[in-house]
Amino acid sequence: MRLKMKRKVEAKDLMQIRYVSSPQISSDGRTVAFVHSKMDHDRDEYLSNIWMADLEGEINQLTFREGSNRYPRWAPNGKKILFTSTHSAEGVSSTQLFTIPFSGGGGSGATNQY
């Protein structure tokens, strides 16, 4: 069976691709933290944030920071998630560690070297 393509893939189509990476399952096996990334065409860079999904199918965005928020890891007690966050300011890029409560809310810096 031959598939007919309606049109060729264009560069603008690639800007619409979103992907999921770095899945981390909680110690109780009920929740997974993962990275959701998408292209910001105006800035010509990927924006990545931490999301969570539970066994009931509820999916929530946990981080809302600009830049690259990646590599989520569960704290041993399962109440917080540690992740890296990279931001660029005035041409300088800096990656720091942050923690955020499993229940959401504001994150706090685990490192401070801006």
For 42-101, write each residue's pLDDT tens digit: 877 788 999 999 989 999 999 887 778 999 999 998 899 999 988 766 666 788 888 888
Q: Considering only CA atoms, which of 69, 15, 63 is closest in space to residue 39?
A: 15
CA distance 59 to 31: 10
- Helix or strand or coil: residue 12? helix
Q: Considering only CA atoms, which of 81, 68, 82 is closest in space to residue 111?
A: 82
- Can you tell me the mean pLDDT for 17-35? 93
CA distance 68 to 2: 40
Domain residue spans in the chain?
A: 16-109
6 pLDDT exceeds 90?
A: no
- How far does Cα 59 stand from its chain's mean position? 13
Specify the pLDDT at position 114.
Answer: 44
pTM as predicted:
0.79
Q: Considering only CA atoms, which of 20, 27, 111, 112 is closest in space to residue 70?
A: 20
Specify the pLDDT at position 104.
Answer: 66
Q: Considering only CA atoms, which of 97, 87, 106, 101 is closest in space to residue 48?
A: 87
Specify the pLDDT at position 21.
Answer: 94
1 pLDDT exceeds 70?
A: no
CA distance 41 to 35: 19
5 pLDDT exceeds 70?
A: no
